Amino acid sequence: MKMLLVLTSHDRLGDTGHKTGFWLEEFAAPYYVFKDAGATMTLASPAGGQPPLDPKSDEPNAQTAATQRFRQDPTAQQHLASTLPLASVSVADYDAVFYPGGHGPLWDLANDAASIALIEAADRTGKPLGLVCHAPGALIKARNVNGQPLIAGRKVTGFSNSEEAAVGLAAVVPFLIEDEFQRLGGHYEKGADWHPHIVTDGRLVTGQNPASSEGVAKALLALLG
């Protein structure tokens, strides 16, 4: 079982002067779900190398059993530090694809040509695709075989407007996932703020927030049988 994990390379939180990147829990929890299931993982990002970590995801109140396991796992840390350039990988080489969130993907993965092409290829070849929290924003420019938005008519979720408002970034992010998905014709669903909410539509799995990361990973494994 071969899994491709795609992380952001974007580290600037708009014009705020603050840093962003990927959210540690949303990487660590799925990483160990896949590892413990015996999967081989390849990590990629637009720029390659070490992806930027959102510093807020490294604060004490954001830690989980998975993040603590990662902090004691030098092999996993080295794996993360040496992601492949996204343009160098082919979805044909993998059984499924997973995108961790953090605010970074709203800037780079949403617009990255290699990421868009990879998502479209996964969809067209029936490869399970999972994205959590802000990572579903990477879907907004992907199109289906008919040239329509990939999410049009499909059940999806992602970081909600109320969650974005709660973290004070609704006016900072380049778009709000809930609004954009509805504009594109997606059937956006959400659960209670900060609680796990996972939506599966065919081979597409999306999760609402950091608490959903493990559930999305397990749903991907279920699709692989």
pLDDT band for position 165 (50/70/90)? very high
For the stretch 172-206, pLDDT in tens is 999 999 999 999 999 999 999 999 999 999 999 99
Residue identified by tokens 């939506």 is 199
Residue ranges and CATH numbers for the domains of the chain are 2-224 (3.40.50.880)
- Provide φ and ψ at 5, rounded to 5°: -110, 125
Instruction: State how far the Cα of 26 lies from the Cα of 182, in Å rounded to an integer.
Output: 24
* Sheet of strand 204-207, all strands in order from the earlier edge strand to the far edge: 84-85, 40-45, 2-6, 96-99, 129-132, 204-207, 198-201
Residue identified by tokens 């490294």 is 58
Q: What is the pLDDT of residue 78?
A: 98
How large is the average pLDDT for residues 115-138? 98
pLDDT band for position 222 (50/70/90)? very high
Letter string b/e over residues 96-125, b meaning 16 or more CB atoms within 10 A of that residue's CB: bbbbbbbbbbbbbbbbbebbbebbbbbbee
* Angle between helices 24-36 and 213-224 in degrees, nearest 10: 30
pLDDT band for position 64 (50/70/90)? very high
145 class by beta-carbon count within 10 Å (0-12 exposed, 13-18 middle, 19+ buried): exposed
Q: What is the pLDDT of residue 182?
A: 98
Among residues 16, 108, 111, which one has the least CA distance to residue 55? 16
- Provide φ and ψ at 218, rounded to 5°: -65, -35
As a whole number, the mean pLDDT across the chain is: 98
Letter string b/e over residues 61-79, b meaning 16 or more CB atoms within 10 A of that residue's CB: eebbebbeebeebeebeeb
pLDDT band for position 114 (50/70/90)? very high
134 neighbors 159 (Cβ within 8 angstroms): yes
For the stretch 95-104, pLDDT in tens is 999 999 999 9
153: which 2 tokens? 């008519």
Instruction: State how far the Cα of 146 lies from the Cα of 179, in Å rounded to an integer.
Output: 23
208 neighbors 197 (Cβ within 8 angstroms): yes
Rounded to whole angstroms, the maximal C-alpha distance in the chain is: 47
